[in-house]
Amino acid sequence: MNERRVVITGIGCISPLGNDLNSTWEGLRNGRSGIARITQLDPEPFDCRIAGEVKNFEPDGYFNVPKDSRRADRYVQFAVAGAKMAVQDSGLDVSKIDPRRFGVMVGSGIGGLATLEREHGTYLAKGPKRVSPFTIPMMISNIASGIISMEFGLKGPNMVIVTACATSNHNIGEAWRIIKFGDADGFICGGAEATILPMGLCGFANMKALSTRNDEPEKASRPFDKHRDGFVMGEGSGVLVIEELEHAKKRGAKIYAELIGYGVSADAYHLSAPSPDGSGPAYAIEMALRHGRKNPTDVDYLNAHATSTGLGDIAETKAIKLAFGDHVKNGLMVSSTKSMTGHMLGAAGGIELIASVMAIKEGIVPPTINIEEQDPECDIDCVPNVAREADVKVAISNSFGFGGHNASVLVSRFE
């Protein structure tokens, strides 16, 4: 593997816990739930009436030309906002870098579902001539990366990988790989999603994937708990600026952490269910450790994909045991921040890697909330209910997507 080192220099996020890094991290650290009754539509007709909605979000201020936000799907608005915050946080002056050496990979698992629903409704009500000419460019999953590159004038590698709920990790990991290979010096990377919509709710609910704990929304997302009954949809974005180390040092950038490993694999098992033996995710974890030249015992914290589904949490527990062996019982802390944000789908990995980086930076491991009776089949240290002060030097973030896509990203304290 190329010896070029890659560091994280900027963070931007929009989440059900807040519309910036500080409020999101404050919520994660304090075990605050962002789940509530849905307000974006009338939830009464649906089995699941709760979600992790982004609140009080105003997109205009994040676009160079404010009216351009109205030609962007909600997921793109989240992506652009996350990118703008990440670049500002990084201190990067794009006028002083070679734009051909800086890329964008900010993906979405589903894309512009809001645009598709709205314009299909227009077609049914008013006919084909009234459908917006912006329909296709607004809904495609690659357009967020395209728009971010235009907003900043970045002409480096620009693409997205769409792997459902593993989207963010794959985009971050492949951006890391391109920098390592020498074809770019930096990337804006991560994911965004906005699918709290009728089709999103119906589609997931009718496959019995969503929680119906409608009377206790803040307690509905409960990974690793024996009484979990499905995941809760979330929305938002998690975006990072990553750079080759010398590029970052040359401009005096602050460094949050070093990105040291990335693993990918496939379950080759089922459309939506995980492989029950956990072997696919375990292989991704092992690959990330190998890239990072770390032993299992070197990892202090694992941010789990754990969505609060019956099959998924158990399968991931098995994967963690396969990859980490005795270390599971001897010091490995595992938590699922989805207990607070809900499942942000294509944005999940971005937010969860940010949580992992902040655990390293702040020495605080965010909890898994809503653990009332831990599932005996999920017998790991899941940091139940309360955050934990800990010296976190190395952390790993897991993301898995429908179709059997697995991705693990490994980060370490920068030294």
Domain residue spans of the chain: 6-250, 263-410
Q: d(Cα 405, Cα 266) in Å, to the nearest integer? A: 5
Query: How many Cβ atoms from other residues are within 10 Å of residue 376's Cβ?
Result: 7
**Bridge partner list, 259:** 6, 411
- In 3D, which of 336, 107, 379 has the Cα closest to residue 238? 107
- Note the pLDDT of residue 227: 98
Where do we find the tokens 């909330």? Answer: 369
Is-contact 50 121, C-beta < 8 A?
Answer: no
Is-contact 158 396, C-beta < 8 A?
Answer: no
Annotated active-site positions, please? 165, 305, 343
Q: d(Cα 278, Cα 29) in Å, to the nearest integer? A: 29
Tell me the backbone φ, ψ of residue 300, rounded to 5 degrees: -95, -35
Query: What would be the CATH architecture of the domain defined by 263-410?
Result: 3-Layer(aba) Sandwich (3.40)
Q: Extract the residue ranges of the chain whose pLDDT is less than 50.
A: 1
* Model pTM above 0.95: yes
- Note the pLDDT of residue 381: 98
Tell me the backbone φ, ψ of residue 141, rounded to 5 degrees: -75, -15
Is-contact 36 235, C-beta < 8 A?
Answer: no
Is-contact 178 103, C-beta < 8 A?
Answer: yes
Query: Is the CATH number 3.40.47.10 carried by domain 6-250?
Result: yes
Is-contact 169 397, C-beta < 8 A?
Answer: yes
pLDDT tens, 229-284? 999 999 999 999 999 999 999 999 999 999 999 999 999 999 988 899 999 999 99
Q: Which residues contact 255 (CB under 8 A, 6 or more apart)?
A: 7, 8, 9, 248, 414
Q: Which residues contact 22 (CB under 8 A, 6 or more apart)?
A: none
Please, how many CA atoms are within 13 Å of residue 374, restricted to the half-sphere of its CB?
Answer: 14
Q: Does 6-250 match 263-410 in CATH topology?
A: yes
With H, G, I as helix, E, B as strand and everything else as coil, classify residue 360: helix
Sign of CA dihedral 355, 360, 363, 365: positive
